[in-house]
């Protein structure tokens, strides 16, 4: 098998100006709901790209935990690589790839922290082991061995029992979109791409991009 011979034709759907929403948030809401109701694997998983102070980009997968007219929210460790990169450069990009629907959504914009109250509410909605895990894992740091995590989890579990507080280094980020792109795979590589760019008055300019 030659990897270069692997290819497929995309024929499931189309994305037209007339059938898409004028507001990208509504278009995203529709597509995400279709990915969830279609029982796709991890429809809420998105790739997050950030750029470090050395100008090197990096990506990782995070889970979307909220979205509305303010932006798209995920939760993480503020001292992780992504957290440190966002502290230095708040611009980031998100990407969903819903393989079974032959769809991609790209979102770009500036990232801010969600409010402390919002982070607290979400933190306390998580299962106990996840809340302890937020204390136990110095995310993105080099650790001697897995034992470090197990020992930390036991230590914080004993310290906080059933009610760990939210760690100060853990909480939500919100990407405030100023650019969205919706990609629908089509036959013969003539895919549909609609890009929405925010205008000075807050409205959205919708343009078709060549695939």
Ligand X SMILES: Cc1cc2nc3c(=O)[nH]c(=O)nc-3n(C[C@H](O)[C@H](O)[C@H](O)COP(=O)(O)O)c2cc1C
- Whole-number minimum distance, CB 34 to ligand X, in Å? 19
Query: Of 23 and 122, which has the nearer Cβ to ligand X?
Result: 122
Cβ neighbours for 132, distance < 8 A, ≥ 6 positions apart: 153, 156, 157, 160, 164
- Residue 204 burial by Cβ neighbours in a 10 Å radius (0-12, 13-18, 19+): buried
Query: Of 61 and 161, which has the nearer Cβ to ligand X?
Result: 61
Hey, what are 25's tokens? 């948030």
The length of the chain, given as a count of residues: 211
62 vs 184: CA distance, rounded Å: 22
Where in the sequence numbering do the catalytic residues fall?
189
177 vs 46: CA distance, rounded Å: 15
- Whole-number minimum distance, CB 100 to ligand X, in Å? 16
Residues in touch with ligand X (CB under 6 A): 42, 45, 58, 60-63, 74-77, 80-82, 139-140
Query: Of 47 and 198, which has the nearer Cβ to ligand X?
Result: 47
Q: Which of 172, 178, 177 is CA-nearest to residue 65?
A: 172
Query: Of 92 and 194, which has the nearer Cβ to ligand X?
Result: 92
Cβ atoms of 110 and 176 closer than 8 Å: yes
- Whole-number minimum distance, CB 138 to ligand X, in Å? 11
- Whole-number minimum distance, CB 54 to ligand X, in Å? 14
């Amino acid at each position: 098998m030659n990897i270069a011979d692997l290819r497929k034709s995309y024929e499931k759907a189309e994305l037209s100006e007339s059938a898409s929403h004028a507001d990208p948030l509504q278009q995203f809401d529709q597509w995400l709901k279709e990915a969830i109701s279609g029982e796709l694997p991890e429809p809420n998983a998105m790739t997050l790209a950030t750029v470090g102070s050395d100008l090197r980009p990096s990506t990782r997968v995070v889970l979307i935990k909220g979205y509305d007219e303010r932006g798209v929210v995920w939760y993480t460790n503020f001292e992780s690589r992504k957290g440190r990169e966002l502290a230095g450069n708040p611009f980031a990009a998100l990407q969903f790839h819903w393989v079974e629907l032959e769809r991609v959504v790209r979102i770009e914009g500036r990232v801010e922290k969600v409010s402390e109250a919002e982070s607290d509410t979400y933190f306390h909605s998580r299962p106990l082991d996840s809340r302890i895990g937020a204390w136990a894992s110095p995310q993105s740091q080099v650790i001697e061995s897995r034992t470090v995590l197990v020992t930390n989890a036991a230590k914080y579990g004993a310290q906080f029992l059933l009610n760990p507080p939210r760690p100060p280094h853990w909480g939500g980020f919100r990407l405030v979109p100023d650019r969205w792109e919706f990609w629908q795979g089509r036959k013969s590589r003539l895919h549909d791409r609609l890009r929405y760019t925010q205008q000075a008055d807050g409205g959205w300019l919708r343009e078709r991009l060549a695939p």
